[in-house]
Amino acid sequence: MEGISVKEALKLMEISGRAELMDLIARAGMVREKFMGNSVTACSIINAKCGGCSEDCSFCAQSRTSRAKIKYYPLVSAQTMFKAAKKAQADGSHHIGIVTSGRAVTGKDLDTICLAIRMISSKLKIRPCASLGILSRDSLQKLRDAGMVRYHHNLETAESYFPSVCTTRNYKAQTDTVKAAKSAGLTVCSGGIFGLGESRAQRVELLDTIRKLDVDSVPINFLHPVKGTRLENMNDLTPFECLKIIAVARLMLPDRNIRLCGGREHNLRDFQSWIFAAGADAVMIGGYLVTSGRDVKLDRQMIKDAGMVLDG
């Protein structure tokens, strides 16, 4: 279903009054309930290869420009990925994402990930997906043949702001990867990170690009500044600004999964449970790449307390 226009989204993204925000949240919550009911789907990830990335993304602790103190390691074994998937399934997740640093996964690393995906898809109920960079259609087809159901590739930010975030790849490579995944018969999870210094208009621009790409799941991340990255001092989000972004995303993409991921704990603080009222119907649990999440039990309780039901 087609959502609100860019013009209306721009207007809503600029509201500042508390009463107006409450009206926006209520409207988005009703749209979420209409299309998604009161069920919440959860996903988890494993950071399967950490650090040493050739890209220069300003927000990332794993980028070549980062001075962040993180643990570097090569690709973990297929068995380690399988164990992570098994734990995620026990926690209540529907999808397990295998995530690697670097521009693209190739060769033996791709073979190892395919092996892990075959193990997961044949022995567990949880659905395997991956975020492996800018891949060719052949590589994506190989992953699909192994049992992968969804590919994740964030656009990060709006095309007009992307050069301020990353200079080692262009925006077309970003969108082409999403298109290649769709052409390989995969569902696609693609969103971005808010709070990188972009304008509110650029936030709408990103959401409109995602809408035009017709993706299935839209991960919304909020910047959690990491010491040693170029954006270590960036912190311009408030809980209400975050809720506004979620609500506008829901109204622009009424029948798609709006999935809250990294940075929700840092930016929403005591307002985390409001994400569902504002339109979210999916959440990442169990931690992120180089920043920890919170105890899964707390997230499960939050979902219950918000009157929602964890699907599965």
Rounded CA separation 51/60 (Å): 10
Rounded CA separation 36/236 (Å): 31
Candidate CATH numbers 1.10.10.10, 3.20.20.70, 3.30.565.10, 3.40.640.10; the one for domain 6-310: 3.20.20.70
pLDDT score, position 51: 86
Domain boundaries, the chain: 6-310
pLDDT score, position 312: 63
3-state secondary structure of 197: coil
The pTM assigned to this predicted structure is 0.96
Rounded CA separation 185/140 (Å): 9
Per residue in 6-18, is it b (16+ CB within 10 Å) or e — as a string? eeebbebbebeee
pLDDT score, position 288: 86
**What residues form DSSP beta bridges with 257?**
217
Written as six digits, the tokens of 134 are 């800018």
Q: Distance of alpha carbon 190 from its chain centroid, rounded?
A: 7
SS in 3 state form for 144-179? HHHCCCEEECCCECCCCCHHHHCCCCCHHHHHHHHH
3-state secondary structure of 291: coil
Q: How high is the mean pLDDT in each 10-residue block of the chain (312 residues)? A: 94 96 98 97 96 92 90 95 97 97 96 98 97 96 97 98 96 97 97 98 98 98 95 94 98 98 95 97 92 91 95 75
